[in-house]
Structure 1
């Protein structure tokens, strides 16, 4: 593109439209006191006032804008100093119109003894045509980089600013393309935008990009570029002009702000202390630093302690011991590290005391010199690592949250040649502050979760035994940490007559409160089972207990003005009798048990569901089923069969399939079933109780009908003692004779027929007397002068335990003796 010839500056040709032509300007002379002492025809033409109307009067009347004494004083002072002034003001025409004029005031001069100013004005609407030399000067000295490219995208012209930005001299640029000179500066993308301007004729503005330049090769710069077409007289695009601004600081600030915002979603996604620390390290590399280590105080990582050291807990150790929780490097394997994850680390960097952790500000070392810095030279291995990998800048930020000291995070740069600055310290502080809150949350949750798991496991039975009636195995799997510990429980309770009570339940909710509620219910079930209650009656009493606990929670919540936690639960209770091989069951909103017959057929007995515990006002129904010997009976909670990928019915079917396929060790089967059905952690607890039934054979049971005649007691006593001798229990003959005599005599005297005596040899020797009466005997402590009343008291002293249970036909009085 050829430049237009420059005008001759020595002999300018001025006309009325020339910007430097003052022949038609309005002019006036104003005294130092603001009086008009001279008026020209140009002034009359501009404002309409005749000379005789203005001269001798104040110039103040000519203004159409408020007076500004400060501005006026400044103008007068400038003009008295020998400089003129020019600007825009609004004046008043004679007909009342307001005119915007460009005003020039000359330097002050004297007329006679007075000081005067020459004032000239012209209307603002007159256009000023810019000369080529003025335009060239403006473009050359503009703070914005500017260039003109021809249709082949070659440099035709550029100003000094753009030459400085790229670091390539002007002579080397002219006639060459951008991609040939600066291939690392997104040259292809920029040339693509230029072609788009040629094709569409539309400008492209504010395209931002990042790159490097020869002027500053050690630091990446950000630029904002705009392109617009150059059009000649016949509307043909002859070139493209582009303008460039260095926006590195704005770009860097925006990148740091984006980094901080993204940290909110990338850090603290789990409730695990070590995982949160690793998320901080992973997030900061490589976007912010080349090497990051997170060192935490040992109590923070401990699940048994009470947490981190508090500033008000007394003097801290001079050099607190920390553990490396996480680290990340741009280099594979983090070779810069002196300590690995899990290693104990000394307190670094200086100062070597707790003040930095407790109340210190972030430490910035913009230029790390391993030969001069005392901290770096104290450990030779650290010094060698710093030199080998070129670690040159460092920021150390204490981690504190909620007045709790957690540890220290250190950021370092090596491959990135730009040193950390004050803005980077603000970003590091914000990143660590967000991570510290997440770490403290994880620490508190881990501590509570550990306590809840410990409580849960302590409330579950440490060992289960089914006696000779059942073979028992169990499995309990807590919920994943995000879900929290639930209130699942199970139990096996020995009952009289070689029977076994089986229970499984699930308390609503999670956490310590659910575990504590589970402990209450488990204790209540054991107590009610010891009272020989049938399953439906036991659940009714348990429902009353849950209602009372719920009322207590509501009252406590109202007193504390907090939201009360509703206590609810599901439960299944079963009683298995090995003599009859019958099992009585009742459930309160709980899934039915699974039964696998000896031939491998799995099924779910139809048991009335019943309402969950805590609703009240509804009844429970019991069902009796007969189980063949070596049948498999499984009780479970809904966490085992209900999952996100399937419904409960499908889960129950899968449970039956898994249990039916295996006929081996019961404990291995229990563990395998849980592993197959729940391969990954679930948000709910899982409990599985498996039992394999056995029958008490006829050779372990002896029974006789008791006639309602006191004379029959001797004969029954003799039969019982013979049976005990036949079982090889010679040591128990005398006590058995006494127990049988007392229980049968009481039944004949006070109970109603039919009466029956039964001996059971199981883990214990049990003597049972059943009758048709519903009145239970009462233990009495006879006085010295009493001649009777000591029979039941003697039975209680001789037996391991004794009691009474009610049946549909009456009651059973029983006494157990321990077999030597």
Structure 2
């Protein structure tokens, strides 16, 4: 090729021997194309071999820009003109070329010597950068796609989508079954039992045979062949033809039919390795029309899968934490449906997962109280994860303990506020957000048909009346728990039997409204106004109200508690005023026995006489009048309640009397005869109550 470029410099100078030798050497390199452009940027000479440059032909007189996509010609011309004007070379510029296959060339452009003031010719050296560009594109796409989700199955699908058609015609991702549950896989597997499940396939529009392994299906036991053992060691490999693929499966026709795509002719296999553990594996397949796999392809697959394995392991570990958090959360919640003499209740809880957060601190509770009353609670601990769930558990336990003391809602929140302040004193500053808790506590009395409630910074509950009218309760929200020093005000209202009391957390009303609480509550109110509280199935209604809300789309937990209130019939309640006179004890016993006989509970007469006698006697002796005796029959719950109220605030105390004591055995006797007993304070005075179980024949 002596003189191949002679006279083609586009300038008046003569080349040096070294430069000429360099040009001649480059001209003999078939994988390097040399093109000389004149001052008008037209090709004067070219050594581009079409066989090595995907059919690219640059005849003399054409322009280099004729070979690039139309939308990129102007930009390439500007770059070439800049080299002519500034005499600075353009190095390793990646340029797409028209044609099939997505050909990309790496261009280096240098100016040739020329007279001052004249545009020089250019020498362009080009190499095929298609493979390297594809590698970079695949890595870029994989980096952009993989790891965008903290769901194990989604992460696997992102990996499959990055590999097919990026690196092969089809791709399948298999994961160890334990990974789906967030558990850590065993460091080694025995024999051919890999414990794998198909997690993802790509492309999604591919038609697969009926018995082909699909996502969600477990892989059958594999034979102990060299290829399987290589996978168990975590070694990547290529099976270049159908014969080697069949050998890897020990020639089993059923395995070949279920695991090998119909048109496949070669496969690359790479394990998903993270922290020395095999999380699963990837199979990338190519059809008959595709090029064979190369070692470069295998190295690229390893690079992609090594990054993907870390993302999948992160998703697995997140799944483990979230599963533990949600399991703890749900274990602390009451049953979804609760049926008592006071209310029929149904609750739903949806943990949020948007943004990779774990379950939070939303919760609800239905707590039976004395004298058929019930406490309805809904709370929201800020933050997410195990800390928020643990804080929720502490608060729920505290609420149940305080509720057992029969405290009023405002007083209970005051004690709970003090507890949160004490928790805050021992909490790390970085986790103080979990202490920003809100809570609504309501007590419904089916005998009085009244509901008393207080709120600690919580959204107001709603009431749907039997006639279908709806309103949010005008309750003073008070400060969130943990602020301290501010009061919580009680509000009391009558509730007609069949009314629906609706308690919820802000995540429900803010969802779908960009966090706008006012707009969300307005929409929620319209939804509640459409309910028929006296006839609707509560659990189905509660589930229907959150239907369509997916945890992955939630930024905050969703909690909803529906409670349809009941009323105790007046015929099941008997109340008497007892004079402040020891002689009235006999009259109290007689009245009780008469009422029990009228109710058909004569079998409780003896024990009730003793309970009434002891409680009324204690009230007369230690508190004075006025004294009130009340009996309540709970036909639904199968209980009978005896109450004695007096004006004293002295707390009764159960003690063990000595054999020489003349008294002190009254409450001990009541505790032995009653199923449960206790006392509660009122605005003035207290009430001591005792509950007995009604036998089936009573």
* TM-score, normalised by the number of residues in structure 2: 0.83
Per-residue displacement from partner, 1:736-790 (whole Å, max 9, x unpaired)?
2221111111111111211111111123211111111111322232233333332
Check the 8 A contact 1:292/1:409 in 2, yes or no. Answer: yes
Selected match of 1:782 from 639, 657, 669: 657
- 1:709 aligned to 2:581? yes
CA distance change for structure 1 residues 390 and 210 in 2, over 3 Å: closer, same or farther?
Answer: farther
The answer for the alignment partner of 1:245 in structure 2 is 125
CA distance change for structure 1 residues 331 and 616 in 2, over 3 Å: closer, same or farther?
Answer: closer
- 1:623 aligned to 2:506? no
Distance in 1 (alpha carbons) for counterparts of 2:297 and 2:569: 82
Deviation of residue 316 (structure 1)?
Answer: 4.2
Check the 8 A contact 1:295/1:408 in 2, yes or no. Answer: yes
The answer for the alignment partner of 2:416 in structure 1 is 542
2:125 partner SS: strand
Deviation of residue 400 (structure 1)?
Answer: 1.0
Check the 8 A contact 2:228/2:248 in 1, yes or no. Answer: no
Selected match of 1:792 from 659, 667, 672: 667
CA distance change for structure 1 residues 322 and 388 in 2, over 3 Å: closer, same or farther?
Answer: closer
CA distance change for structure 1 residues 431 and 135 in 2, over 3 Å: closer, same or farther?
Answer: closer
The answer for the alignment partner of 1:652 in structure 2 is 521
CA distance change for structure 1 residues 684 and 349 in 2, over 3 Å: closer, same or farther?
Answer: farther
Selected match of 1:609 from 472, 477, 484: 477
Selected match of 1:742 from 614, 618, 622: 614
- 1:307 aligned to 2:180? no
Check the 8 A contact 1:293/1:327 in 2, yes or no. Answer: yes
Distance in 2 (alpha carbons) for counterparts of 1:776 and 1:133: 114
Q: Where does 1:327-476 land on structure 2 (aligned, <5 Å)? A: 327-329=201-203, 332-333=206-207, 339-345=213-219, 346=221, 351-352=226-227, 354=229, 356-358=231-233, 360-365=234-239, 367-368=240-241, 370=243, 374-375=247-248, 378-380=251-253, 389=263, 391-392=265-266, 394-414=267-287, 417-462=290-335, 464-476=337-349
Deviation of residue 440 (structure 1)?
Answer: 0.4
The answer for the alignment partner of 1:284 in structure 2 is 163
Distance in 2 (alpha carbons) for counterparts of 1:167 and 1:705: 106
2:435 partner SS: coil
The answer for the alignment partner of 2:362 in structure 1 is 488
CA distance change for structure 1 residues 130 and 355 in 2, over 3 Å: closer, same or farther?
Answer: closer
Distance in 2 (alpha carbons) for counterparts of 1:571 and 1:679: 22
Per-residue displacement from partner, 1:635-669 (whole Å, max 9, x unpaired)?
11111112352521222222222122111313333
1:430 partner SS: helix
Check the 8 A contact 1:299/1:307 in 2, yes or no. Answer: yes
The answer for the alignment partner of 1:810 in structure 2 is 685
Distance in 2 (alpha carbons) for counterparts of 1:387 and 1:801: 69
Per-residue displacement from partner, 1:153-212 (whole Å, max 9, x unpaired)?
8x8x64555577679999xx9789799xx99x6587899899999999978977754569
Deviation of residue 688 (structure 1)?
Answer: 1.3
Deviation of residue 288 (structure 1)?
Answer: 2.1
Q: Where does 1:152-191 land on structure 2 (aligned, <5 Å)? A: 158=45, 186=68
The answer for the alignment partner of 2:600 in structure 1 is 728
The answer for the alignment partner of 2:3 in structure 1 is none
Selected match of 1:633 from 476, 483, 501: 501
Q: Where does 1:41-190 land on structure 2 (aligned, <5 Å)? A: 130=14, 143=27, 144-146=33-35, 158=45, 186=68
Deviation of residue 263 (structure 1)?
Answer: 2.0
- 1:503 aligned to 2:377? yes
Check the 8 A contact 1:336/1:386 in 2, yes or no. Answer: no
Deviation of residue 575 (structure 1)?
Answer: 1.2
Distance in 1 (alpha carbons) for counterparts of 2:560 and 2:55: 77
The answer for the alignment partner of 2:530 in structure 1 is 661
CA distance change for structure 1 residues 726 and 380 in 2, over 3 Å: closer, same or farther?
Answer: closer
Check the 8 A contact 1:289/1:412 in 2, yes or no. Answer: yes
Check the 8 A contact 2:83/2:90 in 1, yes or no. Answer: no
Per-residue displacement from partner, 1:691-732 (whole Å, max 9, x unpaired)?
222222321111111111111221222122111111111111
Check the 8 A contact 2:345/2:564 in 1, yes or no. Answer: yes
Deviation of residue 420 (structure 1)?
Answer: 3.1
The answer for the alignment partner of 2:105 in structure 1 is 222
The answer for the alignment partner of 2:623 in structure 1 is 751
Identify unmatched segments of 5+ residues in structure 1.
Answer: 1-5, 8-126
Distance in 2 (alpha carbons) for counterparts of 1:449 and 1:503: 24
Distance in 2 (alpha carbons) for counterparts of 1:776 and 1:477: 42
Q: Where does 1:490-569 land on structure 2 (aligned, <5 Å)? A: 490-554=364-428, 566-569=434-437
Distance in 2 (alpha carbons) for counterparts of 1:569 and 1:199: 67
Distance in 2 (alpha carbons) for counterparts of 1:419 and 1:289: 10
Distance in 2 (alpha carbons) for counterparts of 1:390 and 1:137: 48
Distance in 1 (alpha carbons) for counterparts of 2:553 and 2:130: 44
Identify unmatched segments of 5+ residues in structure 2.
Answer: 1-5, 28-32
CA distance change for structure 1 residues 176 and 755 in 2, over 3 Å: closer, same or farther?
Answer: same
Deviation of residue 606 (structure 1)?
Answer: 2.3
Selected match of 2:510 from 620, 635, 642: 642
Check the 8 A contact 1:587/1:620 in 2, yes or no. Answer: yes
CA distance change for structure 1 residues 708 and 700 in 2, over 3 Å: closer, same or farther?
Answer: same
1:553 partner SS: coil
2:621 partner SS: helix
CA distance change for structure 1 residues 676 and 151 in 2, over 3 Å: closer, same or farther?
Answer: closer
- 1:261 aligned to 2:150? no
The answer for the alignment partner of 1:694 in structure 2 is 566
Distance in 2 (alpha carbons) for counterparts of 1:382 and 1:209: 45
Distance in 2 (alpha carbons) for counterparts of 1:589 and 1:169: 72
- 1:589 aligned to 2:457? yes
Check the 8 A contact 1:291/1:328 in 2, yes or no. Answer: yes
Check the 8 A contact 2:246/2:256 in 1, yes or no. Answer: no
* TM-score, normalised by the number of residues in structure 1: 0.71
Selected match of 1:298 from 177, 194, 199: 177
RMSD: 4.3
Check the 8 A contact 2:630/2:642 in 1, yes or no. Answer: yes
Check the 8 A contact 2:54/2:103 in 1, yes or no. Answer: no
Distance in 1 (alpha carbons) for counterparts of 2:15 and 2:407: 111
The answer for the alignment partner of 1:671 in structure 2 is 543
Distance in 1 (alpha carbons) for counterparts of 2:570 and 2:447: 8
1:708 partner SS: coil
Deviation of residue 439 (structure 1)?
Answer: 0.5
1:691 partner SS: strand
Check the 8 A contact 1:197/1:229 in 2, yes or no. Answer: no
The alignment of Structure 1 onto Structure 2 pairs a total of residues equal to 669
